Structure 1
Amino acid sequence: MTALTHPFAAPARAESAGAADRPRWERPAFLGLLAATALLYLVDLSSSGWANSFYSAAVQAGSRSWKAFFFGSSDAANFITVDKPPASLWPMELSVRLFGLNSWAILVPQALMGVATVAVLYAAVRRRFGAAAGLIAGGVLALTPVATLMFRFNNPDAMLALLLVCAIYATQRALEAGRTKWLVAAGALIGFAFLVKTLQAFLVLPALALVYAFLAPVRVRRRVWQLALATAALVVAGGWWVAIVQLTPAADRPYVGGSQHNSFLELTFGYNGFGRLDGSETGSVGGGGTGGGAGPGGGKGFSMWGSTGITRLFGSDMGGQISWLLPAALILLVAGVVLTWRAKRTDTERQAFLLWGGALLTTAAVFSYMAGIFHPYYNIALAPYIGAVVGMGAVTLWRRRSSPWAAGTLALAVAVSAWWAFELLGRTPDWLPWLRWAVLLLGLAAALGLAFTGRIAMRVLTVTAVTGGLVAALAGPAAYAVDTVSTGHTGSLPSAGPAQMGGMGFPGGGARGAHGGKGGAGGFGGFPGGGGTGKAPGGTGTAVRGGMPGGFPGGGTGGFPGAGGGQGGKAPSGGGALSGKGGKGGKGQMGGMGGAMGGLLDGTKVSSAVKSALSKDASSYTWVAATVGSQNQASYQLATQDPVMAIGGFNGSDPAPTLAEFEKMVSEHKIHYFIAGGMGSGGTEGAKSTGGTGAFGQAMGVTTDTPSQITAWVEAHYTAKKVGDTTLYDLTAPRAS
């Protein structure tokens, strides 16, 4: 067997190796990886339906209106945008224009982005460390549970992951010989990624810029000039759309959703920017901010969105999503840097470790300590970096296994991975209970074998140890990934794998999508599924006292108000601003929330009778209906495929439209119906404290009570009509005075 045909052998010059230099097994193995990834991400894809209906409705709008396509509007009549830039919507909208509006047309582009991300990661790692390292990196990424989830979902994170992996690959190419075009390409990719998820795209910038500034194989003056060009490319690629939006008169474009002053720059640096770091994002659900003392899970603090601190990514809500190989990645990153530290300044292996490792550390640090809105699925951003570091580090140590230090470190990484998988699987004790012990025993045996492979020249031992180590490391996340594929996921807070003990337990955020699932002891009190065996919708779970800083107004001890839970009871104690006695919830269905958390987690099941009523004479109106909150709006819009106005945007907290503007649109017969309920609507069917100037509204940083004003005005001037469980107000037929 020649050096190049050995699976773990290093190519003499990986970046220039042609097809003739590659071993015969490499191409079939690579194509097999892509085929398996495609199968994992595409099988039964339609089981998630509209997935996140908030984005699906925007896709529907963009498929009908090019103006909605450009601005990222929630509806084809262009009242308000989603609370992100529109780039992630564009592939889905083009797909729907070609293939029609259906689940497959929306989700297949996301799955293909996942396959492409695995391919680019493989190519990047292979150039430095060979095919085996690339295959390990791609396999780790493909089987990371949160990656499996989000590449089958329609949130922006799939495109963001692809673009940032491409940017790091381009930076690697630039570092090979100080190539300006590749560095400019990296800048342009990060700039375009800004149009996917704003400032999160910049988390990799410190690593990329510093590595190139100090380690590129060209003179300092040229490095400075190249970085300046790359920065210019970033600004142009990300700024052209922002400039158009900011320069377009407000009357000629939709309201910028998620902002309080109709400004995309405010959205970027506030709600979607620095507010996420300190918890001060205005208009968010519950706000952020950290409390004193140690938070749950051993973190340094606590926010509405969980514990913050160095242990956050290993906690009950995040661990099963991303952390399976995170300890091993950290061990292998340190080992890789130590082994290459004394190499020449332009050493390509050290550059790679610093690029991927730097991206991992900066992103993980921000995720660990940000006090604002943070959901477990954000962790998909870490998956490619973990995969790269694990692939590079494992192969680097294997090639040096004759050294007891290298062999011992590799064995340590495998043993730690097996132990941590054992711990994570212990959080789901009733789910495949045999797996955790099998992984632990196999991993420890493989680690023992790896520790001695450098000194005992036995092919059987070597093959057994390597195979056992890979299986032990990947069995846990692979099982979670398969479980994720077997279950449909809907709503705004999806999570991968089976329901875990100690999870937050948001309905729609558990492993079972909108139906919640089994909650974990020690989770967030007051949320269905947050403790005991609460279910959503309409659960009867037991709230964990003190888990939340007080209960949501209108929140019962079981399901959310309006989630089919009926009357709300007393909120769990906690002493926070959100505590208090629950009000009466609305009657939403299938996760369609009225009252306190209406519209946040999932949409509403629209009956055929309601659909028929809204569709009647639809062409005579700009909007067939208006309702509070984008999730409720999305459900009605997807059912009718006609524009529905989302009053107050996603959370019902945006001051759009004002009461005067709404009255004017009604007088001009632009809106046919008002649909009662929805987040922050107030009124007789919702919790009045939400979205207004009460305790919850103040916690959100919102000073307007526009949704409540509009609801009260409609109730005062129009007659309610029950269509099934839905209350409609015909805005073309005012009540006789």
Structure 2
Amino acid sequence: MTNTTKDPRWVRPALIGLLGATAVLYVWSLTVSGWANAYYSAAAQAGSESWKAFFFGSLDASNSITVDKPSLSLWPMALSVRLFGLHSWTILAPQVLMGVATVGILFAAVRRRFGPVAGLIAGAVLALTPVAVLMFRYNNPDALLTLLLTVAIYFVLRALEDGRSKWMVLAGAVIGAAFLAKTLQAFLILPVLALVYLLCAPVKLGKRVGQLLLAGLAMVVAGGWWVAIVELWPASSRPYIGGSENNSFLNLTFGYNGLGRINGNEMPGGGGGSGAGGFRGGSPFSQESGIGRMFASAVGGQISWLLPAALILLVAGLVLVWKAKVMRSAFLVWGGSLLITTIVFSFMKGTFHEYYTVAMAPYVGALVGMGTVTLWKHRDWLWVLATLSGSVIITAAWAFVLLNRTPEYVPWLKWFVLLGGLVAAAALLLTDQLGRRVAMGAVALAGVASLAGPVAYSLTTIGDGHNGGIITAGPASARMGGMGGMGGMGRGGGQLPGGAGDFEGGAQGGFPGGMRFQGISAELKKLLTKDADKYAWVAATVSSQTSADLQLSTEKPVMAIGGFSGGDPSPTLEQFKQYVDEGRIHYFAGSNRGGGPGGGRGTAAAITSWVEQTFQQVTVDGTTLYDLTQPKTS
């Protein structure tokens, strides 16, 4: 049965206020990150110029190679750039809208069975989670993935209320779309959704099975149509599938972006065991796996502020609502999604970045909102009140630990959080004796103490620029010590041409995860863009780190030899020679622009060596170029 009770008059203004505040928080100083992840920004620029590049997710408008993900997450950015021009705003604003939408969907999902207060708490927790503040202001695929998974859960919860097939079909379709945002990560919560529906749906078992099959079919259709087109399209007339070993999206999905992330046998960029960018037995970005990963220094400040409370409230909430089937199902769906995602993230041995945990933020928010309201309604029972009070103490104590890891960062805050939490917890235990006003004050103080740490980290996050593939929320000092001391690679200094404002970037050179947009001089830009329309690519260079830099500066196609890391076997030396003979590439940019680790081996190395031996070299403002229309004299 659906909750049809009319909301009090204050609910709509409160919701509008929550969504408005979220929008302001996420949009504030948005361009401080410049192009953010230039890898995806360059692909968005390409998609704004070419519908073929738009469809495939090509890194350049002449379609040499794709990004190493499906293209769905690029489409909002590419459309934005096509409509409003290339700018930091047009790249990043779509993710802001996704963040606001995710908060609204989460409110709607929680409110239906647990009331508007629970929905507002859930939305606020999500909006203020530091990793959510980071990723809903950034152009990685995780923003769209998080939105779509939240929408899918909303549809499943609707189906658990009335057993109507349309909700399960919609849920399946949305998860299929989520696959086109970030492949197999979209399927992490599938076992939970399917099992809860199979056990708890208010229809006969046979119909449940049939509905799950329909949902699966919708998922395959929604996620498979693009895959089928890409796989069936003649390889000779489409871009190379970046990150794959054999120019196959299925190979990318089940290899580098699939099981390799779990077992650590990753081969990013293909190229076989000796290929550039290939990692056997664990990526340099894998960190130490184990049950404590979500609470470790690299990850804890991103997502774990309210994680212990969410788990406590999950257990207590299930005990209290076990006989209320729909409410029990909601706890099982949100709680199961949190648990399975946490377990996979904790124990995966391949590449793991802290920002992956944004997918957990809606689950934590939902459990905190539902659990808090459920326990408050049953506060007449001493064990319930003690559990609620205990969750506040644990949250405050854990926040103290997190804040104490960076003692120079707002040093007084950890003491305020700890003391405020202890006072609030004590007052909660005495609500009957202290009266309603004091009780409400204790609740407010508990909320402030619980959210003060995430708020501080979030405010710091919006004030800092983030750039490249290795990014984390909160103060820079909190990131050191993660990933072998590389946690701060997403910061640095630079200036975005075109009036987007100052921003901070990542380390030059090294792993492309630290990619930074450096910009180019006016002289170099003039040289590259001269007679640009005569060429399919104004330049070619090893790895997307350099190609994105040149392409975003010139707004002209630049070939990324070897794709993301320079390790993809595309183009081959023979193909590259053919392009040069046909006059399709003007310049080759040397490795001094900070190419990735793939530049020294494999196909990319062979191309580089041939170019250096064959064509005349010129240096423009520190950048080595080879004019591919001017061979050396014998």
TM interval, shorter chain, is: over 0.9
- Asked if 2 retains the 8 angstrom alpha-carbon contact of 1:113 and 1:162, the reply is yes
Q: Does 1:500 align with 2:397?
A: no
Aligned residue identity for 1:368: S
**Residue of structure 1 aligned with 2:442, choices 465, 473, 478:** 465
What is the rounded CA distance, in whole Å, between the counterparts of 1:122 and 1:511 in structure 2? 34
Q: Does 1:311 align with 2:292?
A: yes
SS at 1:154 equivalent: coil
What is the rounded CA distance, in whole Å, between the counterparts of 1:716 and 1:622 in structure 2? 23
- Asked if 2 retains the 8 angstrom alpha-carbon contact of 1:508 and 1:515, the reply is no
What is the rounded CA distance, in whole Å, between the counterparts of 2:621 and 2:291 in structure 1? 50
Aligned residue identity for 1:85: P
Which residue of structure 2 lines up, in the alignment, with residue 58 of structure 1? 43
Instruction: Evaluate the alpha carbon distance shift between residue 679 and residue 381 of structure 1 in structure 2; reply closer, same or farther with a 3 A threshold.
Output: farther
Could you report, residue by residue, the CA deviation over 1:174-193 in whole angstroms, capped at 9, with x for unpaired residues?
11110100010000000000
Instruction: Evaluate the alpha carbon distance shift between residue 668 and residue 617 of structure 1 in structure 2; reply closer, same or farther with a 3 A threshold.
Output: same
**Residue of structure 1 aligned with 2:76, choices 91, 97, 109:** 91
What is the number of equivalent residue pairs in this alignment? 619
Q: Does 1:156 align with 2:150?
A: no
Deviation at 1:605, TM superposition (A): 2.6
Which residue of structure 2 lines up, in the alignment, with residue 419 of structure 1? 397
Deviation at 1:28, TM superposition (A): 1.0
Deviation at 1:692, TM superposition (A): 5.3
What is the rounded CA distance, in whole Å, between the counterparts of 1:269 and 1:71 in structure 2? 18
Aligned residue identity for 1:193: A
Greater CA drift, 500-509 or 463-472: 500-509
Which residue of structure 2 lines up, in the alignment, with residue 715 of structure 1? 612
Alignment of 1:37-76 (within 5 A): 37-76=22-61
**Residue of structure 2 aligned with 1:728, choices 605, 615, 625:** 625
What is the rounded CA distance, in whole Å, between the counterparts of 1:379 and 1:123 in structure 2? 22
Deviation at 1:252, TM superposition (A): 1.2
Which residue of structure 2 lines up, in the alignment, with residue 16 of structure 1? 4
- Asked if 2 retains the 8 angstrom alpha-carbon contact of 1:496 and 1:511, the reply is no
Which residue of structure 1 lines up, in the alignment, with residue 317 of structure 2? 336
SS at 2:349 equivalent: coil
Which residue of structure 2 lines up, in the alignment, with residue 271 of structure 1? 256
User: Moved runs in structure 1, 4+ residues, more than 4 A?
Assistant: 504-512, 589-592, 678-681, 690-693
Which residue of structure 2 lines up, in the alignment, with residue 298 of structure 1? none
**Residue of structure 2 aligned with 1:655, choices 559, 569, 578:** 569
Alignment of 1:144-183 (within 5 A): 144-183=129-168
Deviation at 1:283, TM superposition (A): 2.3
Instruction: Evaluate the alpha carbon distance shift between residue 227 and residue 309 of structure 1 in structure 2; reply closer, same or farther with a 3 A threshold.
Output: same
Could you report, residue by residue, the CA deviation over 1:307-359 in whole angstroms, capped at 9, with x for unpaired residues?
10010011111011111101111111111122233x16xx1110000000011
Which residue of structure 1 lines up, in the alignment, with residue 499 of structure 2? none
Instruction: Evaluate the alpha carbon distance shift between residue 396 and residue 678 of structure 1 in structure 2; reply closer, same or farther with a 3 A threshold.
Output: farther
Which residue of structure 2 lines up, in the alignment, with residue 241 of structure 1? 226
Q: Does 1:388 align with 2:366?
A: yes
- Asked if 2 retains the 8 angstrom alpha-carbon contact of 1:599 and 1:632, the reply is no
Aligned residue identity for 1:656: S
SS at 1:719 equivalent: strand
What is the rounded CA distance, in whole Å, between the counterparts of 1:278 and 1:633 in structure 2? 31
Deviation at 1:154, TM superposition (A): 0.6
SS at 1:281 equivalent: coil
What is the rounded CA distance, in whole Å, between the counterparts of 2:309 and 2:253 in structure 1? 35
Instruction: Evaluate the alpha carbon distance shift between residue 363 and residue 603 of structure 1 in structure 2; reply closer, same or farther with a 3 A threshold.
Output: same
Deviation at 1:287, TM superposition (A): 2.5
Which residue of structure 1 lines up, in the alignment, with residue 589 of structure 2? 675
What is the rounded CA distance, in whole Å, between the counterparts of 1:679 and 1:143 in structure 2? 38
Deviation at 1:305, TM superposition (A): 2.0
**Residue of structure 2 aligned with 1:326, choices 302, 307, 321:** 307
Instruction: Evaluate the alpha carbon distance shift between residue 460 and residue 26 of structure 1 in structure 2; reply closer, same or farther with a 3 A threshold.
Output: same
**Residue of structure 1 aligned with 2:378, choices 382, 394, 400:** 400
SS at 1:401 equivalent: coil
Which residue of structure 2 lines up, in the alignment, with residue 131 of structure 1? 116
Deviation at 1:510, TM superposition (A): 5.1
Q: Does 1:375 align with 2:353?
A: yes
Which residue of structure 2 lines up, in the alignment, with residue 530 of structure 1? none
What is the rounded CA distance, in whole Å, between the counterparts of 1:351 and 1:192 in structure 2? 24
What is the rounded CA distance, in whole Å, between the counterparts of 1:221 and 1:315 in structure 2? 45
What is the rounded CA distance, in whole Å, between the counterparts of 2:621 and 2:484 in structure 1? 24
Q: Structure 1: where are the runs of 5+ without partners? A: 1-12, 291-301, 517-535, 538-588, 694-704
Instruction: Evaluate the alpha carbon distance shift between residue 679 and residue 655 of structure 1 in structure 2; reply closer, same or farther with a 3 A threshold.
Output: farther
Alignment of 1:666-705 (within 5 A): 666-677=580-591, 690=598, 705=602
Q: Does 1:477 align with 2:392?
A: no
Alignment of 1:512-591 (within 5 A): 513-515=490-492, 591=506
What is the rounded CA distance, in whole Å, between the counterparts of 1:598 and 1:415 in structure 2? 42
Aligned residue identity for 2:621: G
- Asked if 2 retains the 8 angstrom alpha-carbon contact of 1:156 and 1:197, the reply is yes
Which residue of structure 1 lines up, in the alignment, with residue 524 of structure 2? 610
Aligned residue identity for 1:716: Q
- Asked if 1 retains the 8 angstrom alpha-carbon contact of 2:489 and 2:506, the reply is no
Instruction: Evaluate the alpha carbon distance shift between residue 77 and residue 169 of structure 1 in structure 2; reply closer, same or farther with a 3 A threshold.
Output: same
**Residue of structure 2 aligned with 1:491, choices 468, 487, 495:** 468
Deviation at 1:194, TM superposition (A): 0.3
SS at 2:190 equivalent: helix
SS at 2:240 equivalent: coil
**Residue of structure 2 aligned with 1:631, choices 537, 545, 565:** 545
SS at 1:308 equivalent: coil
What is the rounded CA distance, in whole Å, between the counterparts of 2:375 and 2:318 in structure 1? 11
- Asked if 2 retains the 8 angstrom alpha-carbon contact of 1:246 and 1:264, the reply is yes
Instruction: Evaluate the alpha carbon distance shift between residue 274 and residue 706 of structure 1 in structure 2; reply closer, same or farther with a 3 A threshold.
Output: same
Instruction: Evaluate the alpha carbon distance shift between residue 335 and residue 286 of structure 1 in structure 2; reply closer, same or farther with a 3 A threshold.
Output: farther
Could you report, residue by residue, the CA deviation over 1:393-449 in whole angstroms, capped at 9, with x for unpaired residues?
111111111111100111111111100110111122111000010000001111111
Aligned residue identity for 2:463: S
What is the rounded CA distance, in whole Å, between the counterparts of 2:527 and 2:129 in structure 1? 45
SS at 2:458 equivalent: helix
Instruction: Evaluate the alpha carbon distance shift between residue 607 and residue 350 of structure 1 in structure 2; reply closer, same or farther with a 3 A threshold.
Output: same
Aligned residue identity for 1:642: K
What is the rounded CA distance, in whole Å, between the counterparts of 2:47 and 2:58 in structure 1? 7
Q: Does 1:289 align with 2:274?
A: no
- Which of the pair is proportionally richer in helix? 2
- The RMSD of aligned alpha carbons is 2.2
SS at 2:588 equivalent: strand
- Asked if 1 retains the 8 angstrom alpha-carbon contact of 2:77 and 2:92, the reply is yes
What is the rounded CA distance, in whole Å, between the counterparts of 1:609 and 1:93 in structure 2? 28
Aligned residue identity for 1:449: A
Instruction: Evaluate the alpha carbon distance shift between residue 591 and residue 672 of structure 1 in structure 2; reply closer, same or farther with a 3 A threshold.
Output: farther
Deviation at 1:456, TM superposition (A): 2.3
**Residue of structure 1 aligned with 2:200, choices 179, 200, 215:** 215
Greater CA drift, 605-614 or 273-282: 605-614
Q: Does 1:192 align with 2:177?
A: yes
- Asked if 1 retains the 8 angstrom alpha-carbon contact of 2:528 and 2:539, the reply is yes
Aligned residue identity for 2:40: Y
- Asked if 2 retains the 8 angstrom alpha-carbon contact of 1:309 and 1:368, the reply is yes
- Asked if 2 retains the 8 angstrom alpha-carbon contact of 1:51 and 1:489, the reply is yes
Aligned residue identity for 1:177: D
Identity, % of aligned positions: 58
Which residue of structure 2 lines up, in the alignment, with residue 456 of structure 1? 433
What is the rounded CA distance, in whole Å, between the counterparts of 1:319 and 1:175 in structure 2? 33
What is the rounded CA distance, in whole Å, between the counterparts of 1:202 and 1:136 in structure 2? 27
What is the rounded CA distance, in whole Å, between the counterparts of 1:620 and 1:268 in structure 2? 36
What is the rounded CA distance, in whole Å, between the counterparts of 2:127 and 2:466 in structure 1? 18
Aligned residue identity for 1:625: A
SS at 1:371 equivalent: coil
Aligned residue identity for 2:314: L
- Asked if 2 retains the 8 angstrom alpha-carbon contact of 1:592 and 1:599, the reply is no
Which residue of structure 2 lines up, in the alignment, with residue 551 of structure 1? none
Deviation at 1:15, TM superposition (A): 2.8
- Asked if 1 retains the 8 angstrom alpha-carbon contact of 2:156 and 2:167, the reply is yes
Instruction: Evaluate the alpha carbon distance shift between residue 367 and residue 115 of structure 1 in structure 2; reply closer, same or farther with a 3 A threshold.
Output: same
